[in-house]
């Protein structure tokens, strides 16, 4: 399977997401904001970022390419649709 240029960008993106999923920059910080420790806010923001990036990952069709399907872009909505090897759209 040949990887497109845009798919290669996702590899370091997800590596960074995994590396910073644990709030290691905040280890030893006891600061509290709005009644919660800062590391809790880190997780909330990080999950929001992961949600946005995963939605973008799926919309660009990278998910379908990695699953062996052929994505096509819907001109109306701009999102990727899937067609299998026989050309059936799902």
Task: State the pLDDT at residue 45.
Answer: 94
User: Which residues, 6 or more positions from 45, have their beta carbon under 8 angstroms from its beta carbon?
Assistant: none
Task: State the pLDDT at residue 76.
Answer: 65
Instruction: Please name the residue that has the structure tokens 């910080």.
Output: 29
Task: State the pLDDT at residue 51.
Answer: 95
Task: State the pLDDT at residue 69.
Answer: 73
**Residue 39 structure tokens:** 């590391």
Average pLDDT, 10 consecutive residues per value, the chain (90 residues): 72 90 86 92 94 90 76 64 54
Task: State the pLDDT at residue 34.
Answer: 95
Say how far apart CA 18 and CA 7 lie, in whole Å: 17
């Amino acid at each position: 399977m040949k990887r497109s240029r845009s798919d290669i960008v996702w590899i370091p993106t997800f590596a960074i997401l995994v590396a910073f999923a644990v709030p290691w920059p905040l280890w030893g910080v006891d600061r509290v904001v709005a009644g919660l420790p800062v590391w809790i806010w880190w997780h909330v923001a990080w999950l929001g970022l992961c949600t946005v990036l995963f939605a973008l990952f799926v919309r660009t069709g990278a998910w379908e390419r990695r699953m062996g399907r052929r994505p096509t872009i819907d001109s109306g909505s701009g999102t990727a649709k899937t067609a299998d090897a026989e050309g059936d759209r799902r």
